[in-house]
Structure 1
C-alpha cells in the first residue's frame, strides 16, 4: 500500500511541474537598433553633349571637365626649354593640344604666385595695352586663382615660363592639381577651381569666365579682371 501511495504522489508532483512549465510567459524580442536610413547621394548633372558655351551653368562646366579621362599628374612636373629640362617639384606645367583653339601654355609657381594658375594664350584678338601698363605687354597672359581671373598683363620678365613649356595634355583628357582640374579640348582648355566653383575657357577666340566670376575694374597694368 505504501508503495502505491508513493507512486501516486510522484506522479502528482511530476504533473504539477509539467503544468507550471506549460504556462510560462512567451518571450518578447525588442530591437534596439538605432541605425538611420542612409540617404542616397545627390545625383550628378548629366554630361553636356558638347563643350559648354558662354553663360553655361558652372555645374555643366564641372560635369564636362570631369567626364574627360584623367591624365597622370606625375608627367607634368617639369618644363623643357631649348632641350633643357627643369624639374618643377610640386608645381605643374602643361600645354594644350594644338588645333583651332590655338596654343595655350599653363604653369603654376606656388613660391611666387601661391595657388594661381598662369597661362599664355595665343589670342586672335589680344586685349589692347592699357594706359597704366609699364613693361612688355602680354595681352594673352591669364592669371586664374579661382576667386579672381585676370587677362592681359604688363610683364618685366617671363615669370615661370622662363623654364619653358610643359608636356602636352592630350585632347579629351583632364589634369587634376590642387583645387584645379583642367580639360583639353579642340575648342579650348577648360579649367575648374573647386574651392570657388568657378571656371574659365582659354582659346584663341577669347577668355570666357564661368561660375561666380563677374567683371570688375582691373588694377593698373591689367587688361580685364573678373572676381567672385
Structure 2
C-alpha cells in the first residue's frame, strides 16, 4: 500500500508541467544573427584616393593613383596637331596641350621611341650652359621614364613643327604607351608605369617623383634627373 502511494506521488509531480492535459512544447532558441548573417562580416575600408594634386615629395605610388583617378579621355582624339589652322595627322603619336596653354606635349616614335617631350613656359628656366651652341630652349623637357632633361638646344621646333595638340581638360586622364597624364590647375602630371616614375610640369618648375633624382647635367642640358 505504501508503495502505491509513492508511485502516485511521482506521477502527479511529472504532470505538473503540462498545460491543459498536454505536455508543454519547448521551442529551440534560434542562433544569434551575428553568427550566421553575411551582413555581420566586416571588411577594412580601402584608402580613399586623394582629391588634391600631389605635393612635392609625395610617394610615387600616391602620384600614380591620383593620376589614374582622372576621367579617361579618348586617346583617338589626340593623334593630331594644329599650326596656323593646318592640321597634321600624327599616326600613333599623341599631342596635347593644357587648358592654360603653358604646357604642350608630344611624342615622337620615329626619333625618340615614343618618349614624351613638353614645351613648358617656365618662369625660371635653367640658364643656358656655357658649352651650349645653337638655339637654346630652356623650357624644352624630355621625359623617357628613366630620365628628365630640362633645357636643351634645338635648331628648329623638331616634333613641334606640326604645332600643338588638342586641349586636355582639367581632371582628364590621357593614356598612351607606358604613360598616363592628368591635367590639373596645379600643373600637368605624367607617370611612366614601366619605370614607376612621375613628373609634374608647371610654369613654377619641373617636379620629379619616384626614382628620379637630380644628377649632373650632361653637355648642352640645363638640368637633369635620372633613375
Matched, 1:115 2:114: yes
**Is 1:47–1:67's contact at 8 Å kept on the other side of the alignment?**
yes
For these two proteins, the number of residue pairs brought into alignment is: 183
- After TM superposition, give the deviation of residue 44 of structure 1 in Å: 7.3
Q: Find the aligned partners of 1:74 and 1:154 in 2 and give their Cα distance.
A: 31
Q: Find the aligned partners of 2:125 and 2:50 in 1 and give their Cα distance.
A: 29
What TM-score do you get using the length of structure 1 for normalisation? 0.78
Q: Which residue among 40, 46, 49 is the counterpart of 2:48?
A: 46
Q: Find the aligned partners of 1:159 and 1:219 in 2 and give their Cα distance.
A: 20
Alpha carbons of structure 1 residues 128 and 141: separation in structure 2 relative to 1, 3 Å: same
Query: Which residue number corresponds to residue 212 of structure 2?
Result: 213
Structure 1: 5+ residue stretches without partners: 1-42
Q: Find the aligned partners of 2:114 and 2:93 in 1 and give their Cα distance.
A: 10
**Is 2:93–2:114's contact at 8 Å kept on the other side of the alignment?**
no
**Is 1:78–1:93's contact at 8 Å kept on the other side of the alignment?**
yes
- After TM superposition, give the deviation of residue 123 of structure 1 in Å: 0.6
Secondary structure at the aligned position of 2:49 is classed as coil
Query: Which residue number corresponds to residue 16 of structure 1?
Result: none
Secondary structure at the aligned position of 2:152 is classed as strand
Deviations 1:103-141 (A, max 9, x none): 100000110111310000001111111112111111110
Give the ranges of 4+ consecutive aligned residues of structure 1 lying more than 4 Å apart after TM superposition: none
- After TM superposition, give the deviation of residue 49 of structure 1 in Å: 2.8
Query: Which residue number corresponds to residue 66 of structure 1?
Result: 68
Query: Which residue number corresponds to residue 148 of structure 1?
Result: 147
- After TM superposition, give the deviation of residue 82 of structure 1 in Å: 0.5
Secondary structure at the aligned position of 2:149 is classed as strand
Query: Which residue number corresponds to residue 79 of structure 2?
Result: 77
**Is 1:45–1:60's contact at 8 Å kept on the other side of the alignment?**
no
- After TM superposition, give the deviation of residue 214 of structure 1 in Å: 0.7
What TM-score do you get using the length of structure 2 for normalisation? 0.78
Q: Find the aligned partners of 1:46 and 1:142 in 2 and give their Cα distance.
A: 32
Query: Which residue number corresponds to residue 103 of structure 2?
Result: 104
Matched, 1:87 2:89: yes
Query: Which residue number corresponds to residue 170 of structure 1?
Result: 169
- Alignment of structure 1 residues 179-190 onto 2, 5 Å: 179-190=178-189
Q: Find the aligned partners of 1:80 and 1:195 in 2 and give their Cα distance.
A: 30
Structure 2: 5+ residue stretches without partners: 1-44
- RMSD value, Cα: 1.3
Q: Find the aligned partners of 2:51 and 2:82 in 1 and give their Cα distance.
A: 35
Q: Find the aligned partners of 2:197 and 2:182 in 1 and give their Cα distance.
A: 14
Q: Find the aligned partners of 1:94 and 1:49 in 2 and give their Cα distance.
A: 23
Q: Find the aligned partners of 1:53 and 1:185 in 2 and give their Cα distance.
A: 13
- After TM superposition, give the deviation of residue 45 of structure 1 in Å: 5.3
Q: Find the aligned partners of 1:204 and 1:59 in 2 and give their Cα distance.
A: 24
